[in-house]
Structure 1
Amino acid sequence: MLPSHSNFGGKIHGGHILNLMDQIAFACASKHSQKYCVTASVNRVDFRSPVEVGELLTLKASINYTGRTSMVVGVRVESQNITTGKRRHCNSSYFTMVAKTEEGKSAEVPGLLIQDEQGVRRFARSKFRKEAAFLRDTKFDESNFKAEDYLDSLFDDNIKIELK
């Protein structure tokens, strides 16, 4: 990582790391689907430890889940101090990538061949994360949401509510 990648605090800017993560997710999804892919969503980016200027980064990506036209790509970022050799897991995230036809329509993707328990764990985790996100999104959809259903549960939070 170069000084030009750093933020005002002297650490590598999180946005630069996210850009690299998006690129590796694109490469992984495109290789699996043999199609051009676009990022549909990024689920929870965990910044575990800062990356220092001068460290080497290794990005690892795997297809964790396949739907009809989408894939969940797990991305792990590790940094390595080049003088000590010490490695750290510094970032993880899940990218939902959608395969596209040449006309820009969503394209079907090949299913995933799972050959070990780790693959089953990753697929199941992604499937349940997707289902939970759908339930959360529909539960808080504007057309279904009623503030009075949640007011009591917000009483101890750091807010002041003055509804009109």
Structure 2
Amino acid sequence: MKQFKTAAESRLSITELMVPSHSNFGGKVHGGHILSLMDQIAFACASKHSQRYCVTASVNRVDFLHPVEVGDLLTLKASINYTGRTSMVVGVRVESQHVTTGKKRHCNSSYFTMVAKDENGKNIAVPGLLIQDEQGVRRFARSKFRKEAAFQRDTQFDSSSFNAADYIRHLTTENVQVHLK
């Protein structure tokens, strides 16, 4: 296995027709169906990069920018943005296309942290990322700083060291009442 791989070596794209069985009660394609497709392509991309079975460790926020209609073609694109020792961040972009007008819309993007596993289910090292352009540097750096910010946020609000008094003043403009006992 190579020690480093380019993002292009594991980049994937899939397109699927959205049918009525994918719709929610409002007649739009169910967000859960789209998330499932996103997870599948993130798995495939990470597994292709690492040549290992991979599992989803976390999903960065997902904002649904535009509804997807039944009858639209949904295209998902996945690429490795970051590699750690055993983990990878896979960027997933989702676009819908109206079949008769050809109009395309960016529906959402998200970042899936995937971890490679060996035959015994233990984390295993993955090839590093060989970056060849500024866009690759931007994506790698963004993922690195997003990871660091998440760690800081998690430790800042850890229940063992959290002091509510330090944060109550930040809640005064929110739709909440605080009555501590």
Q: Which TM-score band applies after superposition, normalised by the shorter structure?
A: over 0.9
Structure 2 residue 110 is matched with structure 1 residue 93: yes
- 1:162 maps to 2:179: yes
SS of the residue corresponding to residue 127 of structure 1 reads: helix
Matches within 5 A, 1:12-161: 12-161=29-178
1:91 CA drift (Å): 1.4
Structure 2: how far apart are the matches of 1:25 and 1:153? 37
Higher relative contact order by CA 8 Å / sep ≥ 6: 1 or 2? 2
The one-letter code matched in structure 2 to 1:106 is N
Mapped partners of 1:150, 1:91: distance in 2: 32
* Regions of 4+ moved over 6 Å: none
The whole-number CA distance in structure 2 between the counterparts of 1:36 and 1:152 is: 47
Whole-angstrom CA distance in 2 between matches of 1:12 and 1:152: 41
- SS of the residue corresponding to residue 61 of structure 2 reads strand
Q: What stretches of structure 2 of length at least 5 have no aligned partner?
A: 1-17
2:21 alignment partner in structure 1: 4
- TM-score, normalised relative to structure 2: 0.90
The unaligned stretches of length 5 or more in structure 1 are none
State the distance in 2 between where 1:159 and 1:46 align. 24
For 1:1-37, what per-residue CA distance to the aligned partner results, in whole angstroms no more than 9, with x for missing partners?
Answer: 0000000000000000000000000000000000000
- Partner of 1:76: helix, strand, or coil? strand
Q: Could you say what secondary structure the match of 1:107 adopts?
A: coil
Matches of 2:145 and 2:162, distance apart in 1: 23
Residue equivalent to 2:3: none
Q: Which amino acid aligns with 1:75?
A: V
One-letter amino acid of the structure 1 residue matched with residue 125 of structure 2: E
Shift in Å, 1:156: 1.7
| Percent of aligned positions that are identical | 81
Partner Cα separation in structure 2 for residue 32 and residue 46 of structure 1: 26
Q: Deviations over 1:64-106 (max 9, x none)?
A: 0000000000000111111011111101110000000000000
Q: Could you say what the CA RMSD is over the residues aligned between the two structures, in angstroms? A: 0.5
Cα deviation for residue 154 of structure 1 reads 1.2
Q: Equivalents in 1 of 2:19, 2:172: separation in Å?
A: 47
Give, in whole Å, the separation in 2 of the partners of 1:44 and 1:26.
17
Q: Secondary structure at the match of 2:143?
A: helix
CA distance in structure 1 between the partners assigned to 2:126 and 2:24 by the alignment: 38
